[in-house]
Amino acid sequence: AAAPVEELSNEIQELLLNLPTEKNWDGTSLYQYQGCWNRSQYVFATISFQRHFQAKESDIILTSFPKSGTTWLKALAFTIVNRSRYPLENSPLITTPPHQLVPFLEVDLYLKNQSPNLEDFPNPRILATHVPYASLPNSILNSDCHIVYVARNPLDQFISHWKFLSGFQDQNMNLVSVVEAFEMICNGVQSYGPIWEHILGYWKASQEQPEKVLFLKYEDMKEDIKLNVKNLANFLGCPFTEDEERQGVVEEISKLCSFDNLKTLEVNKNGKHRTGFRNDTFFRKGTVGDWRNYLTPSMAERMEKVLEEKLSGSGLSF
């Protein structure tokens, strides 16, 4: 039976005391749990998620390092899977933010509640997490559910995250400089970091179990979204029929979920996510290579060296 939240909290308070710690960009503490840096409340939520989540074979788990294209993947997976349930012109995406249609397991559902009611979710359940592969609950690892990961160039991911947090500076968030933050990420210290460990964990899993884990790249999706939409549909067991292809359904889904479309929808321009983030903060620029506007070539070179070393032999590059 599930321990009450209070009890788990005491146990985790004790656990936190023994974990390595570092300062985050905003001066709060990060703790290294199972090799991954995180805020205390997300360590708590991760443990709760690990202990209590029961995967179903039909589940679709969308995974990512924060600011790597999660919102886009949520929109795409939801729309592809539910296309026979909702005609595209009446897609729930038009009136509901992607983060509400596909909640985060640790960030939303297990943060304050050890037994969120997930039974009422329509099947297949589409759920998301930023937890690294190695920290996924056994129930996910041992079931036949599907996992999709989206990876992004770490320099663009960094700038995206940096700009995201800079948007909250007015709320007394004292961030270190971009140079200091960059120094920290080169040492692997950032929420859910090191980023290379995160990416590699899912990359290796996708190589070993290609029928269970699909590895996507933000940059590839920008380059050829139709191909990626088709791959995603095939992987999720709902390939497009010839008729659908002829009718242009792949193009329509790509367009519905595009940055330009989602950003301009009223629902995404206004309102807040339950974590307090404004919905519009999830749609900034949506481009590849924006890091060039913020980082010097020598900073980029430094990260490229780190990545070259860390990803060497994996067959993966950015």
State the catalytic residues.
130
Long-range (24+ apart) CB contacts under 8 A made by 6-10 are: 8/44, 8/47, 8/48, 8/114, 9/44
The C-alpha atoms of residue 238 and residue 178 are separated, in whole angstroms, by: 43
Instruction: Give whichever of 69 and 124 is closer to ligand A3P, judged by the CB atom.
Output: 69
Structure-token pair, residue 159: 């700038």
| CA dihedral sign, ordered 50, 54, 58, 60 | negative
Q: Determine if 91 is a binding residue for ligand A3P (CB under 6 A).
A: no
**Nearest distance, CB of residue 163 and ligand A3P, angstroms:** 6
User: Which position has the token pair 């929109």?
Assistant: 75
Instruction: Give whichever of 12 and 148 is closer to ligand A3P, judged by the CB atom.
Output: 148
**Nearest distance, CB of residue 10 and ligand A3P, angstroms:** 32
Instruction: Give whichever of 52 and 217 is closer to ligand A3P, judged by the CB atom.
Output: 217
Instruction: Give whichever of 39 and 284 is closer to ligand A3P, judged by the CB atom.
Output: 284
Position among 285, 296, 305, 308 found at the interface with ligand A3P (CB under 6 A): 285
CB 146 within 8 A of CB 238: no
Q: Determine if 48 is a binding residue for ligand A3P (CB under 6 A).
A: no
**Nearest distance, CB of residue 286 and ligand A3P, angstroms:** 3
Beta bridge partners of 127: 61
Position among 37, 42, 192, 283 found at the interface with ligand A3P (CB under 6 A): 283
Q: Determine if 63 is a binding residue for ligand A3P (CB under 6 A).
A: no
User: Which position has the token pair 């913020």?
Assistant: 294
Stretch that binds ligand A3P, among 35-43, 55-63, 66-74, 83-91 (CB under 6 A): 66-74
Burial class, 76, CB count within 10 angstroms (exposed 0-12 / middle 13-18 / buried 19+): buried
Stretch that binds ligand A3P, among 2-10, 42-50, 194-202, 256-264 (CB under 6 A): 256-264
CB 160 within 8 A of CB 67: yes
Q: Determine if 239 is a binding residue for ligand A3P (CB under 6 A).
A: no
The C-alpha atoms of residue 164 and residue 25 are separated, in whole angstroms, by: 12
CB 40 within 8 A of CB 32: no
Structure-token pair, residue 48: 């709760």
Q: Determine if 268 is a binding residue for ligand A3P (CB under 6 A).
A: no
**Nearest distance, CB of residue 102 and ligand A3P, angstroms:** 11
Instruction: Give whichever of 46 and 68 is closer to ligand A3P, judged by the CB atom.
Output: 68
Interface with ligand A3P by CB under 6 A: which residues?
64, 66-72, 156, 160, 163, 257-259, 262, 282-286, 290
